Amino acid sequence: MMWQKYTKRLAQFFLAVALIASSLLPGMPAAVAAEAQPDLQLEVKSAILVEASTGKILYKHNENLPLPPASMTKMMTEYLVLEAIKEGKIDWEEKVPVSEYAFFIARKSDSAGVYLNMGEEHTVKELYKAMAIVSANDATALLAEKVAGSEANFVDMMNQKAKELGMTNSHFATSTGLPAKELGPYSPKTDQDTVMSARDAAILARALIRDFPEALEYSKIPRLKFRENFEKANYNWMLPGLPSEYPGVDGLKTGYTDEAQHCFTGTASRDGMRLIAVVMGTSSDLKRFAETKKLFDYGFSNYKLVKKLGKDQPVEGFESAEVKKGVELTVPAVTGEDVMILSKVGEEGNLTPQVTYRNDLTAPVKKGQVIGSVVYAAQGESEADYLRPEDFTNRGSELVAAQDVEEASWIRLLFRSIIQFIADMVKGVIG
């Protein structure tokens, strides 16, 4: 009886151990999972941290949840205004008279703005700076009208651009992020107000600074002087000289409404690496910057961009690619540009190259022609680790031909095929 008692207790012990182990092993060990997704104790509704050059997600929390973005909406307005300037549809120095709609917004006591008055006119550049630096709703609405003729037309452009950029959890109802119901006679005829997920905000921010890097030249300005008697600090208090200053920050856009609470899409650059952080639904002005600081601290402390190979260097073990119908059967392959990799600090040597060459590479081949690609990636990496599926598919660096390969004559190809035929016969007999 005594032996049976101890045997029963021992079985219960091993069963408990097995249950604990099984709970920790649904997909990966608990220690690995904690390392992949740190507990930053963020007090937010949603958040995301992304490395800008690769689109690699370093941290995420409710990143696909559509939420009111408030004035972070203006990042899309900035994108479309800069696109219109690039395409020559409007000009930086073009003067824009104040419209009745912009004047209506300027009179709203709870709306950020530069107090535009009827009878005034301001240049596109003045209005853009007011939008980007002090989140001026009146200036934003006026720019939307200038680009598209009406805010309704501009909102259509915003939603179309969102689709083009791959923003799948967003909808725009106004150019400013102001709730539609607060616009009185100018309220858009829609049942759906503006929403945007943290992931989509990061996609938009990345596209803005990638396609129009000049946007950062405005977003990094700490203070705006709009009129002789009007000067105001940037709402982004992480810029130099402001209350939540953080080294390397040069953008990008804050937001606040009663429903959205305090939001921020921030970007900072250090040692050649740019991070984009989004926090939504924080409790105060200072809190959104404190939570962003946690994200930046984690990213800059744990990750870095390093040069794995320089331009015109071969990848060890993959020095050549096969060529069909060429005088030579192979062509030397080298990198077409510096190969930069994103790695956790201290793990730079753990990433092995994955090389893919074109399987239809046929002579003639010209020096510098793209013939393949190399990717240095962590094991088990997937689309879910990146902002967009395209970022995963297109990751890596191009490999190019290091020299020309001329097309072989038909006689050379004939003799080559005869020799190959004989070799195959001999191999078959021996085998």
Give the CA radius of gyration of the chain: 29
Which tokens sit at 338?
């510096």
Find the catalytic residue in 135, 197, 244, 397: 135
Which residues are 277's β-sheet partners?
Answer: 49, 266
Find the catalytic residue in 56, 60, 74, 294: 74
293 sits in which H/E element? helix 285-302
Find the catalytic residue in 46, 56, 60, 71: 71
Q: Which residue has the tokens 């307005």?
A: 77
What are the DSSP calls for 323-367, one per residue? -BTBSSSEEEEEESS-EEEEEETT-GGGPPEEEEE-TT-BS-B-T
Measured CA to CA, the distance from residue 44 to residue 262 in angstroms comes to 9
For residue 1, how many other CB atoms are within 10 A of its CB? 4
Q: Helix or strand or coil: residue 306?
A: strand
Residue 71 a catalytic site member: yes
Measured CA to CA, the distance from residue 190 to residue 81 in angstroms comes to 24
Measured CA to CA, the distance from residue 192 to residue 137 in angstroms comes to 20
Contact present, 395 and 428 (Cβ < 8 Å): no
85 sits in which H/E element? helix 74-86
Contacts of 185 (CB under 8 A, 6+ apart): 104
Q: Which residue has the tokens 């107090």?
A: 115
Residue 135 a catalytic site member: yes
Measured CA to CA, the distance from residue 199 to residue 7 in angstroms comes to 54
Contact present, 187 and 180 (Cβ < 8 Å): yes
Cα angle 373, 378, 381; round to 5:
85
Phi-psi region of 55 (alpha: psi -120 to 50; beta: other; left: phi over 0): left
Catalytic positions, written as ranges: 71, 74, 135
